[in-house]
Structure 1
Amino acid sequence: MKTVQIPRLTTSSIVQGTLLGLALWLQSPLQAQVLNSASLSRSPVPINEDFAVTVQLTPNSNTVWCGMRVEYGDGRTQDIRVGSDGFQSLPLKLTHRYGGSGDYNIRIFGRYMSRGLKSAIPCEGAPISLPVKVIDPAVGEAARRLEEQAQREQNERNRMRQDEERLARERQSLEAQRKALEEREQQAKERELAERERVLREREAALSRKAQETAPPKPAAPPAAPAAKPAPAAKPAATGF
């Protein structure tokens, strides 16, 4: 059997291949694809659960490969060679997960990737910044329960206040009814007393008329005595000198 000798790759050969690939790109009029936009599959994102980041690129007429880097804001990065490594169709679908809650910022930007003959020039376009809010479902559930409890307590306070207002209105209504009843009773008593007084006056008047009708006639008064004659005036006494 004949043994086939495979040449070993050395550092110098890799560097030479990289430089050769870069020189070829610099001499060609090729243009990389352009970063357009990015979006999240959901927001907010629960911790320890996968979510998707969709990256939209605009292919040009040459449709060359390009390199890009994704920084997820939690210390992890992902270098992507668009057109290979499983990223051959657009838009790109990336998957990530966070291990802790908080606010993160995903940055996507073009980056030169050195891979020898498969090196890639940076994707064109301005860097993309994508804010991500990551929540802990357990904390969110506890907060939801607290909010529901607070809402129930508020509803109970509202109900108690409404009951107090209703009872106050009922007390006012009963007080008004009591006063109206007392006034009607007082008026009825006054009418009854007035009626009794009227009946008594009529009885007294009837008795008085009856007494006058049945009383005997009074005796005639005796004739008046003649008036006495006045006494004669006394004569003055004679005075002698």
Structure 2
Amino acid sequence: MNRPVIALDFPSKQEVVFFLEQFPTEESLFLKVGMELFYKEGPQIVELLIEAGHDVFLDLKLHDIPNTVKSAMKNIASLGVKITNVHAAGGTEMMKAALEGLVEGTPSGQKRPELIAVTQLTSTSEEQMQADQLIKASLEESVAHYASITKKAGLDGVVCSALEVEKIRSVTDDAFICLTPGIRPSNSAVGDQKRVVTPSRAHEIGSSYIVVGRPITQSETPYESYIAIKKEWNGEL
């Protein structure tokens, strides 16, 4: 059964540990570690989660000159994460360098982490994109372009809204990863997200992975909420 990726948007290890104590110890989870948590706790938080039997999506959205990103990816590869990412806006050469760094840094005998690129954040509307980034294309066209150059650079897929999966697959292929944040059950608040869908809709659209944060992490019964979303994501509800 496919697992939703739980966004561990907590400020400290202590809060993460408390949160995970509400899940069965034998439950292998797929967890997203983002900037807030990683910048506070460092690589040790990733090691802690992996040692506990969980998979990790390290969501740092690297965006810098190619050589710097390549060197950073060598270090990330040594952590044993399942997925990591860059910003597609960094360009084809930067993405190629990131992939090279992952390949070089992956220990012998281990599988290279999947590398995906952020297209447009799910908190960004088309109006904001055009005004702030001076991109005159539509948001869908911008996302499709970023997906196209991401594939050209040899990466495994992109981070995108589930609303854009069909368009992305039309310019890439069915094996191209579409990891989709901005997932909200029908009874959840949208919050600061602009382009959201339900887990069942993401299933219908064909998202490769879904990322869910507050509907699980801020729930009074996190495990029950997780199971409900997991079932919906797998088409069981």
TM-score by length of structure 2 reads 0.19
- Greater fraction helix: 2
Larger Rg: 1
- Greater fraction strand: 1
